[in-house]
């Protein structure tokens, strides 16, 4: 009851700025963030949300949370419930508005949203700083931290207290007042720099295009990709021509199939020089980010920013991450040398005199695959229409965890391309809402991701508030009467993001801060990556992989070829990923706040030190390495994909041993990983599921780098 009063007090304090009437219970048109959503399962009412609603709602959310914190500080007794639990329940409005705002800025942005972000994000950052540096609030958390045993806190409560304590310390709670002000200024500066980096990247991506006028240059490309390029040209007023962009469904087929070496070169150079020069050059932004991070790390007592970022996760320190990566790097580059030799031999057989260049890699890797395994991916794609793959991920979830997905065609959605599903368990109980948004558009950033519009938690009576989870992708689009036909990489990506989705949907914990994907960065990729393994398992392929024209189930012969080719080109794939992770860690080691580096020279220096094969580029070059420069989420943490892959490959070997849909194994994974969130130490949870500590050998076996 007190919490409801605080919410109303915060809302009413803004008066006419938010509501067209007073706070007497009568309302006409109001800010939708400031009242309960009158929608199925509290899905945000996207059709009612307008650009002008964000800032007033943010201000109302800030006032609501400040009022709640004042109430916390007014209590003489210090308990878990009146401090930690009350803090977790203090941000109802903020959660609603920030979840929608950040979802749309990433997946359905506009010039208006970008303009709002310039005010919204710094204001939110400043508010978060005020909380994390509040000395009286920290005193209460410190008391609970220091007295956790005598207060007889439950294990998950003790873990939550410890997490809050560490978070406050890492965000400046122990600093002097003057240093706190400096830290706030640095955080505000970094927020603005991340905005600038992301805007440059989006604008540079959308500006680049290759216009093809001569049809002969399209030789080798699948008809579906040629049709998409023709549609893109028509949309740009260039009917009769073909336009290719840097979005993956356009870029990758050119690199993989185009017979024109010049066309491949144009695409490769366009991508690898993205946001690297001119008005969208991200190099100056990167330097300012690195300088601000160095100052922040020093202020907080760390040798460098990498030490600050790795201290609070499973790895613990940069050296642990590097040691793992180097165990993978050495066999990976050895395999690259073998792959390049095979490609060069094939190119020579064709009468070519050139040396394999980076922009030849995808093309000749595909040719080698066709020659060695008689497997042409353009033909394989015909068995993977998007709707069939969607059936595959839903079937996997039903067989493993007993959940079903029913489309809600009339549910609110932020874009017409979004699909919404009601997720239920075997008894018919509502589990979650799941949304998908799979096709590229100019308003959406590149890549694929999962997030939420509402998290999960339990109230005092043990009743669970169920989550609203969404997956976003940039997959191949349908063309005319031909449905979207996914590449093998897109299929795995769809399973990957759905794995994150399951982590968010199936969670069953009491505290918001411990639910779903709120886990260590180097553990969060376990649920996503382990579910990739099911994508190519024959037992599941027989269920979902069906020809888009005939409905024919994928033949056994093709499945056998897919299995035989499963480790094809893994030297390249592993090297570009590990190289990017090692580059990220080298950035994390920089500690001079006054240094200005030549970004491209720095990349080259790292590559030279690693003896990186010249034919393989970093998966992301620095100017478009959004994971580490678009926010601090994966800064000095891109390695976590491989750290988690050690876990997922080791864990999936248990499923292979017991049966990929073994009920007991699936129930254990669901209980100890998907449901548990951050309620216990992640390695404890993993070992409880697996029965032993993981080793990198399973990863190396899975990638075919060792026997």
Element (H, E) at 210: strand 210-212
Strands 464-465, 457-458: pairing kind: antiparallel
Cα–Cα distances in Å, from 565 out to 172, 336, 485, 555, 665? 51, 16, 20, 16, 28
Write the burial class of residue 36 (CB in 10 Å: 0-12 exposed, 13-18 middle, 19+ buried): exposed
Would you list the DSSP string of 56-68? Answer: HHHHHHHHHHHHH
CA 679 to CA 682: how far, in whole Å? 9
Contact of 191 with 128, CB cutoff 8 Å: no
Q: Give me 402's structure tokens.
A: 């007993």
**Do residues 668 and 291 make contact, with C-beta atoms less than 8 angstroms apart?**
no
What whole-number distance in Å separates Cα of residue 311 and Cα of residue 302?
A: 10
Location of structure tokens 């009412």: 45
Residues with Cβ within 8 Å of residue 430, at least 6 apart in sequence: 41, 422, 423, 424, 466
Separation of alpha carbons 455 and 466, rounded Å: 7
Q: Go through the domains of the chain in sequence order and give each one's CATH number.
A: 2-19+33-132+134-174 (1.10.1370.40), 208-273 (no CATH), 279-375+571-638 (1.10.1370.10), 382-564+641-702 (1.10.1370.40)
Residues 6+ apart with CB under 8 A from 70: none
As given in the structure block, the two tokens for residue 237 are 């007023």
Collapsing DSSP states into helix, strand and coil, what is residue 272?
helix
* Rounded-to-integer distance, Cα 24 and Cα 30, Å: 13
Q: What is the DSSP string of 401-447?
A: H--EEEE-TTS--SSTT-EEEEEE-TTS-EEEEEEEE-S--TTS-SS
Q: Enter the tokens of residue 271.
A: 């991508």
Find the distance separating the first CA and the last CA of the chain, reported in whole Å.
62
| Backbone dihedral angles phi then psi of residue 405, each to the nearest 5 degrees | -125, 120
- Between 640-658 and 525-532, two packed helices, what is the crossing angle to 10 degrees? 50
Distance CA 28, CA 34 (A): 13
Categorise residue 486: left if φ over 0, alpha if ψ from -120 to 50, beta otherwise: beta
Q: Where are the beta strands (DSSP E) in 28-109?
A: none
Task: Return d(Cα 35, Cα 57) in angstroms, integer.
Answer: 10
> Which residues of the chain have a pLDDT value below 70?
1-29
Angstrom distance (rounded) from CA 499 to CA 29: 39
Q: Which two tokens stand for residue 11?
A: 């809302």
Q: Which of 133, 303, 275, 277 is nearest to 630 (CA)?
A: 275
Q: 3-state DSSP helix/strand/coil percent for the chain, to nearest 5?
A: 60, 5, 35
**Could you tell me the pTM of the whole model?**
0.88
Task: Tell which residue, 275, 276, 250, 279, has the closest CA to residue 263.
Answer: 250
Residue 498, Cβ density class (10 Å: 0-12 exposed, 13-18 middle, ≥19 buried): buried
SS3 468: strand
Residue 582 near residue 332, CB atoms below 8 Å: no
Active site (catalytic) residues: 497
> Which residues share a beta bridge with 419?
436
Identify the helix (H) or strand (E) that includes residue 458.
strand 457-458
Q: What pLDDT score was predicted for residue 29?
A: 63
Q: Provide the pLDDT for residue 63.
A: 98
Beta bridge partners of 19: 30
d(CA 116, CA 113): 5
Selection from 65, 60, 54 nearest residue 130 by Cα:
65
Report the distance separating Cα 9 and Cα 326, nearest Å. 56
Query: Where is 243: in which H helix or E strand?
Result: strand 242-244
**β-sheet bridge partners, residue 472:** 437, 449
Dihedral over alpha carbons 308, 309, 311, 317 (to 10 degrees): -100
């Amino acid at each position: 009851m007190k919490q409801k009063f605080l919410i109303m007090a915060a809302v009413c304090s803004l008066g006419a700025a938010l509501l067209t009437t007073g706070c007497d219970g009568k309302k006409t048109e109001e800010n939708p963030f400031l009242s309960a959503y009158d929608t199925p399962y509290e899905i945000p009412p996207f059709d009612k949300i307008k650009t002008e609603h964000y800032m007033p709602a943010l201000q109302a959310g800030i006032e609501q949370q400040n009022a709640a914190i004042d109430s916390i500080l007014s209590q003489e007794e210090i308990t878990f419930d009146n401090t930690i639990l009350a803090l977790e329940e203090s941000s109802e409005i903020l959660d609603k508005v920030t979840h929608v705002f950040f979802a749309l800025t990433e997946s359905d942005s506009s010039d208006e949203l970008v303009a709002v972000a310039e005010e919204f994000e710094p204001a939110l950052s400043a508010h978060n700083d005020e909380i994390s540096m509040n000395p009286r609030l920290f005193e209460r958390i410190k008391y609970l931290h220091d007295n956790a045993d005598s207060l007889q806190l439950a294990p998950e409560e003790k873990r939550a207290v410890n997490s809050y304590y560490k978070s406050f310390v890492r965000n400046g709670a122990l600093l002097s007042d003057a240093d706190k002000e400096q830290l706030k200024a640095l955080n505000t500066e970094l927020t603005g720099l991340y905005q600038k980096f992301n805007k440059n990247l989006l604008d540079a991506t959308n500006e680049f295009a290759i216009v093809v006028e001569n049809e002969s240059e399209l030789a080798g490309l699948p008809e579906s990709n040629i049709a998409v390029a023709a549609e893109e040209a028509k949309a740009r007023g260039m009917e009769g021509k073909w336009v290719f962009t840097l979005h993956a469904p356009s870029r990758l087929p050119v690199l993989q199939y185009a017979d024109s070496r010049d066309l491949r070169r144009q695409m490769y150079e366009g991508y690898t020089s993205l946001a690297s020069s001119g008005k969208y050059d991200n190099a100056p932004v990167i330097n300012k980010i690195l300088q601000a991070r160095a100052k922040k790390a020093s202020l907080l007592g760390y040798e460098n920013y990498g030490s600050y970022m790795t201290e609070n996760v499973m790895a613990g320190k940069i050296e642990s991450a590097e040691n793992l990566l180097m165990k993978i790097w050495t066999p990976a580059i050895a395999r690259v040398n073998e792959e390049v030799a095979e490609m060069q031999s094939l190119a020579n057989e064709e009468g070519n005199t050139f040396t394999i260049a980076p922009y030849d890699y995808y093309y000749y890797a595909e040719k080698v695959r066709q020659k060695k395994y008689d497997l042409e991916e353009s033909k394989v794609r015909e068995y993977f229409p998007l709707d069939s793959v969607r059936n595959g991920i839903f079937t996997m979830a039903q067989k493993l965890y007993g959940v079903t997905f029913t489309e809600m065609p009339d549910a609110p959605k932020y874009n017409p391309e979004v699909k919404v599903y009601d997720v239920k368990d075997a008894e018919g109980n509502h589990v979650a809402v799941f949304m998908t948004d799979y096709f590229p558009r100019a308003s959406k950033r590149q890549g694929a991701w999962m997030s939420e519009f509402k998290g999960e938690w339990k109230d005092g009576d043990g009743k669970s508030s169920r989550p609203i989870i969404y997956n976003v992708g940039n997959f191949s689009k349908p063309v005319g009467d031909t449905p979207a036909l996914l590449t093998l990489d897109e299929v795995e990506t769809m399973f990957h993001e759905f794995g994150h989705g399951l982590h968010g949907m199936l969670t069953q914990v009491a505290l918001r801060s411990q639910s779903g994907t709120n886990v260590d960065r180097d553990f969060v990729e376990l649920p996503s990556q382990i579910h990739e393994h099911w994508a190519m398992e024959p037992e599941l392929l027989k269920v979902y992989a069906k020809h888009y024209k005939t409905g024919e189930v994928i033949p056994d012969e093709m499945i056998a070829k897919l299995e035989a080719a499963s480790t094809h080109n893994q030297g390249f794939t592993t090297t570009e990923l590990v190289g990017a992770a090692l580059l990220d860690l080298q950035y994390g080691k920089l500690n001079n706040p006054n240094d200005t580096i030549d970004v491209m020279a720095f990349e080259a220096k790292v590559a030279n030190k690693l003896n990186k094969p010249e034919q393989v580029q970093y998966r992301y070059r620095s100017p478009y390495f959004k994971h580490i420069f678009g926010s601090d989420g994966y800064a000095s943490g891109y390695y976590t994909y491989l750290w988690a892959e050690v876990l997922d490959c080791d864990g999936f070997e248990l499923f292979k041993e017991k049966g990929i849909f073994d009920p007991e194994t699936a129930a254990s994974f669901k209980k100890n990983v998907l449901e548990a969130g951050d309620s216990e130490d992640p390695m404890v949870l993993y070992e409880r599921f697996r029965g032993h500590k993981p080793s990198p050998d399973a990863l190396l076996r899975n990638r075919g780098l060792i026997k």
